[in-house]
Chains A and B, each alone.
Chain A
Amino acid sequence: MTLQRKIFGLVLLLLLALALTLPFTVSNYMLRVCNMTMITYMCVVSLFVIFGMAGQISFAQAGFWGVGAYISAILTVKLHVSALVALLASGLGTAAFAAILGLALFRLHGHYFGFATIGVVMILNGLFQNWKPVTGGADGIANIPPFAIGSLEFASETSLFYLIAVAVIIISIATYVIYRSSLGRAFMAIRDNEIAAKCMGVNCYQTKVIAFAISGLYCGIAGSLFAFVSSYISATSFTFMQSSLYLVMLMLGGYHSLPGPIVGTALLMMLPEWFRFLQEYILLIYGLGVMLLMVVMPDGLIGGGKQALESYRNKRKGVANVAQK
């Protein structure tokens, strides 16, 4: 077991190292795709927290992503706040927004909460699109300055890659720590059995609000980074469809464990790029592929892989047992 762990860790480190050298091996275009993939990944992880761990389905994530993006855009363009402060404000602001929303919406249980979040993303999109004095309305907000810490400016795709990678690593580690902490266990207890969770002393309402706030924090950071990467934002990005895609990514990757969001996001962000030559057939294949994958691997790629591994092990165990007898 420990050996396996070590090997797993080693492989992970190797992959990470490989990933960090990407800017030297791929084109600018691919790097941009990687950057967008990582930003999307943060949103999918946020969904992993609220849905994968805490079991509360949310379609609000793309809306939160937008809130984060707009906070940063408004702060830097209109109020000339420094980028770092804007990033923090996006994260915390969106977290606070999510928390307040959660306080109201977690009076609803199960599916009903999910339904309400559909309303949330629709309303937010309406505001982004039409609240001209604040969000710039349909014009969006242009000329967002590049991210900078002091005089260190992150303008090139490569520097942005490392900036986002740092955020991704921090968020991944934070999520792993939460996953292994009592808070994470409280989330999962709520997901698996709310009554049992309560009987184990978990304040479900409060805990759900915390999970929602954390997911808001992640989305806020992702949104802020998106604003800096694209330097122009408009309402068209932050839609219900985008939220559904996060859900698809999480479910296809596997919602049980942290590698799920990684695999799911990478797959669904990269494949369309690799299969660009299919042109107008790509979305059809995408849609059918999603349906097919769900049938073949209802637990997602990671879940399905694990199951295959487990059944293989069981088979081996079974053989060993028979041999012993």
Chain B
Amino acid sequence: MVLQLIIASLAMGIVYGLVAMGFVLIWRAVGVVNFAQGDLLMAGAYVAFTLTELEGLPMPVALVACAAIMALVGVVFHFLTYWPLRKSWDMTVIISTIGASIALKEIATLVWGPAPLSVEPIIPGIARFASVSIEWQFLVTIVIAAALMGMIFYLLEKTYIGNILQATAQDQYAAELIGIPVVVATSMTFAISALITGIGGMLISPIFFVSTTMGGSPGLKAFAAVIIGGFGSVPGAIIGGIVVGVIDTFSGAYISSTYRDAIVFLCLILALLVRPQGIFGEKISDKV
């Protein structure tokens, strides 16, 4: 049973991690918490549904196409919610993302209807070993999400373009002075954020189905992950996501299956009080 729980919690955790990474990227780039992050997960799932079930694309193609479409969604999202408000107070952007969150759900309802939809898994069937029997999709989720995280991490940390994005996030003023096109950099960051979150949605959609409300709970839990992991830290988001996945699943099994959300958020508050900088803290100490 424990092994079963570990795999399930890892799969959930890594998806929380993807969404959490999405949060962190936007936070670092523009200093705003995106309240519509969970809805980007939902959008990814609907895009995946359209590509695989309606258009009948083969899985690998669908995966790439979904990534591309979500990146585009991210850019549009950037220009609708953030860009017009970049000069004003961050609260206004937050409100704008709340508005976007409502609108995204309703767009999904109007386009795809209110009924939940099911999506074929990438590898159908059930994996059985030892005392564990679990859908292959759980394992596929872990593998693809981890690979995606690795890729994004590599892109950000090791490549020139990633450095440009990071530089813009760390000091927009200096970035502007040395000639970085800040609009391009911030919209690219939004694109990556939407992309990884959307792929997260695509990965879990065969497991948990596609519905307009599917983003709510993962969105909030990923947010908890961001805080537990350390606000503003990409590795923190990943670790935080897995920690939340484990807390979520194991508290459901061993403490209370109905209070598991409450327990996750209690951990969030405790984490804040005990270690506000999170597990990973801010790599950049104080920007003096």
Using CB atoms and an 8 Å cutoff, list the residues of chain A in contact with chain B: 57, 104-105, 107-108, 111-112, 115-116, 118-120, 122-123, 125-127, 129-130, 240, 244, 247-248, 251-252, 280-281, 283-284, 286-291, 294-295, 298
Using CB atoms and an 8 Å cutoff, list the residues of chain B in contact with chain A: 33, 35, 80-81, 84-85, 88-89, 91-96, 98-107, 109-110, 220, 223-224, 227, 231, 256, 258-259, 261-262, 264-266, 268-269, 272-273, 276
Query: Complex: how many Å from CA A284 to CA B227?
Result: 30
Q: Which residues of chain A are within 8 angstroms of B231 by Cβ–Cβ distance?
A: 111-112
Query: Complex: how many Å from CA A111 to CA B227?
Result: 11
In the complex, the chain B residue whose C-beta lies closest to that of A126 is B262
Contact status A298-B89, CB under 8 Å: yes
Contact status B95-A248, CB under 8 Å: yes
Instruction: Tell me which of B35, B107, B109, B268 contacts A116 (CB under 8 A).
Output: B268
Pairs A-B, 4 closest by C-beta atoms:
A290-B99, A287-B103, A126-B262, A287-B102
* Minimal beta-carbon separation of B243 from chain A (angstroms): 15
> Told that A287-B105, A291-B100 touch, could you supply 10 new A-B pairs with CB distance under 8 A?
A112-B276, A118-B220, A118-B265, A122-B264, A248-B98, A251-B95, A283-B106, A287-B104, A294-B85, A295-B84
Query: Complex: how many Å from CA A123 to CA B267?
Result: 10
Contact status A284-B272, CB under 8 Å: no
* Minimal beta-carbon separation of A116 from chain B (angstroms): 5
Contact status B220-A240, CB under 8 Å: yes
Query: Complex: how many Å from CA A107 to CA B270?
Result: 12
Q: Which residues of chain A are within 8 angstroms of B273 by Cβ–Cβ distance?
A: 104-105, 107-108, 116
Q: Which residues of chain A are within 8 angstroms of B88 by Cβ–Cβ distance?
A: 298
In the complex, the chain B residue whose C-beta lies closest to that of A295 is B84
Q: Which residues of chain A are within 8 angstroms of B266 by Cβ–Cβ distance?
A: 119, 123
Known contacts A122-B220, A122-B262: A247-B95 contact under CB 8 Å:
yes
Query: Complex: how many Å from CA A232 to CA B130?
Result: 50
* Minimal beta-carbon separation of B98 from chain A (angstroms): 5
Q: Which residues of chain A are within 8 angstroms of B81 by Cβ–Cβ distance?
A: 291
* Minimal beta-carbon separation of A186 from chain B (angstroms): 21
Q: Which residues of chain B are within 8 angstroms of A289 by Cβ–Cβ distance?
A: 99
Contact status B272-A116, CB under 8 Å: yes
Q: Which residues of chain A are within 8 angstroms of B98 by Cβ–Cβ distance?
A: 244, 247-248, 290
* Minimal beta-carbon separation of B226 from chain A (angstroms): 9
Query: Complex: how many Å from CA A126 to CA B255?
Result: 14
Query: Complex: how many Å from CA A115 to CA B104?
Result: 23
Contact status B223-A294, CB under 8 Å: no
Query: Complex: how many Å from CA A15 to CA B212?
Result: 42
Known contacts A108-B276, A284-B103: A126-B268 contact under CB 8 Å:
no
Contact status B272-A286, CB under 8 Å: no
Contact status A294-B99, CB under 8 Å: yes
